[in-house]
Structure 1
């Protein structure tokens, strides 16, 4: 085709392109910024480098579009939004997850109740997880372990929100003595649980295996992994041979994550809103203090105080022991404590001088037997040996109380019941014997003559 025929077409095309570029430049000054990329990218790539009459036509490349991100510096008012933003574990998808997701969704009342129980504790747990850089879905683990009941106790002697058994609790420095059990302390047990989870995650490098270890024990999971390695089998969570409880453990957590992580499902089930604000704080007294006194100083009911402080086994709290309070009650507690001239405890130490029952001590002191039994953690109206020490109402013997506060094990010594004397049997005690004074007289049997055989 002659060049003269091509040139008009090229000029028309150049005019079209220049007009489009002019429109783009003009509109960019007026249009909102989110429209600019669409206008700038409307030119086909084949026309980006076309040279016409000495002019070089080149598209002005837009700034790259950034993916939608979440600004974690913005503070949300909803704790559930904050929780969802920190989800970081790989999702597990199997039939067990679907089963438990349906199971929880079919019981919205029980789910709501469990969330209400979590209300005082959840914000603190989320903050601790974020501070450690751990996945925030781990904050839902107490729902699987204890339904967020800090007084939960299992047949295997596990206790508290995070269900520590005694040995693991001691391993992570949770005090367990006559006075208190920190496995039930919300803050202490949360710190220990996250320490433990970090330890087993570093061991396996996999959160699902870390959770299996939390439930089954890291040694058991390690042996299961070694067995699969020896057989050339995969060593991830779905492929390990494990007990039924552990097999169902991670799917339960995943099911809760799926439900609570979905705002639409959350709203449809009518689950409770939890504000993203600090709920718990701690304070301490320099002197021993009664549980009842602490509740009164914080303007709380005894039930409310015990709900936040379930770790105390006795009615007396040792000096300098942190008590957990709602954050908005701390100032009230400190002010009332400073202006409290009366003794902070109405209990004193009592030393048993001679063996006697708890009921006898209670009667002599004019107090309830059940009150003494409950205050001292006794199995019943037992006989206490001489030298036993127990708590009794009153504030007369504070020195004895101080000595008791330094004891970790029970200072009460339970004396075995005296053995009853056994009767020795000298003669038979059956009726008709000489030992029985009312025995019937012996019958006299007369001999009858017998005929002698004579031989004739």
Structure 2
């Protein structure tokens, strides 16, 4: 039971070296966050011509007027592996996880509720690449669809990307930003990663690439050589891998099987529209998150959850290219950002050093990376700040 991709994307020489190093180092080895029992032109972009929760605890998504189109039906139509595993070598291993998950249908409901803002958009990206629909459920296994998830090994985000691998994939990190938590960029990077290593190591075999996504290509390649030496085919189901990796594809297939027939397992899935729930609004001037939320007409908590890569309360053009906003609120925010900031909400462009200030403290206060702040102000000795000294906060 395999699925092959015909994609052969050429990487730049330097990127290939960096990515290959991360793969061979087993950069993705980590614990799954799911409980055992339980930017491009791909999204609308609108351009101009305190992180609180919504009142009463209601999510913005509960108030959306959903159309008849349904993301779950669309996802099921893209499943490619559901008939194969029932007849193949993985039957017993997949059935084990179906039994485990179906014992806690409330856990599945909770996780699929968290998937509501992201599922349709991720599925579009999977469809565009011709990949099996099951791939859209990898965040279920990796992070329980929590964009803020972090593992004890250092992996972060929906796709649980390790720091070194994120660096190789171009996902910037700094005090005010972590690209691994940005759903748009991390999704693109994770799917690139899966396809690229399938092409590089496994002649397009996606299942082997998923094993390498979890354990690292070095671990999978060694296991494959041992299987081939024993006269086996060397596909995923032949390999002796770490326990977590042995369970990785079976978990993915198990949750897809439950989503294919949720009523059979007593699972009630939340209603999710088949179209993306968010649009991308370019950040054309520094803006506080609460100000942006007010202009968009949503809670600060809603905007915060849509932009988990932003690690502070200020979005600056030098750090953040865009904000994700509920689709039907984007034009309001675009119009507001095209106007000068009100005096009472303007983000400071300069910090005047006070007695006791440190460069790291100033950077933290303004959600900036220390290295950026030092570079913008030509600071070679961070310990030599003087009271009254003015520091630019934007690099301009």
The verdict on a shared fold, with TM-score over 0.5 as the criterion, is yes
1:387 aligns with 2:385: yes
**RMSD of aligned alpha carbons:** 3.0
* TM-score, structure 1 normalization: 0.61
- Flag the structure with more relative contact order, 1 or 2, with Cα contacts below 8 A and sequence separation at least 6: 2
What displacement does 1:386 show?
A: 3.0
Higher mean Cα deviation, 228-237 or 217-226?
228-237
Which residue in the other structure is 1:250 paired with? 249
TM-fit CA distance, 1:387: 2.8
**After the TM superposition, which segments of 4 or more aligned residues of structure 1 sit over 4 Å from their partners?**
351-358, 371-378
Distance 1:97 1:112 in 2: 20
Tell whether the 8 Å contact from 1:356 to 1:385 is kept in structure 2 after alignment: no
- Matched residue, 2:392: 400
Q: Is the CA contact (8 Å cut-off) linking 2:262 and 2:268 kept in structure 1?
A: no
SS at match of 1:259: helix
- Given that 1:282 and 1:323 are in contact with CA atoms closer than 8 Å, whether structure 2 keeps it comes out as yes
1:179-198 correspondence to structure 2 within 5 Å: 179-198=176-195
Q: 1:350 maps to which residue?
A: 351
* TM-score normalized with structure 2 length: 0.70
Matched, 1:161 2:158: yes
Gap runs ≥5 in structure 1: 1-74, 363-370, 379-383, 390-396, 407-456
Specify which of 116, 131, 136 is matched with residue 133 of structure 2.
136
Q: Is the 1:351–1:388 Cα contact (8 Å) retained in structure 2?
A: no
Partner of 2:220: 221
Match of 1:279 in 2: 277
Aligned-residue offset at 1:297: 1.7
Q: Distance in 2 between matches of 1:247 and 1:77?
A: 36
Pick the aligned partner of 1:101 from 98, 101, 106: 98
Distance 2:175 2:205 in 1: 38
Deviation sequence 1:276-330 (CA, Å, 0-9, x none) = 1221110013212222222222112111111000101232212261111111111
**Are 2:207 and 1:208 aligned?**
yes
Choose from 306, 324, 331 the match for 1:308: 306
Q: What SS class does the counterpart of residue 323 from structure 1 fall into?
A: strand
Tell me what 1:423 maps to. none
Q: 1:175 aligns with which of 172, 177, 197?
A: 172
Does the Cα contact within 8 Å between 2:118 and 2:276 map onto a contact in 1?
A: no
Tell me by how many angstroms 1:193 deviates: 0.8
Structure number with greater Rg is 1
Contact 1:354 1:387 in 2 (8 A): no
Tell me the number of residue pairs that the alignment of Structure 1 and Structure 2 aligns: 307
Does 1:261 pair with 2:253? Answer: no
CA distance in 1, matches of 2:195, 2:121: 17
Structure 2 gap ranges (5+): 1-66, 371-381
3-state secondary structure, aligned to 2:123? helix
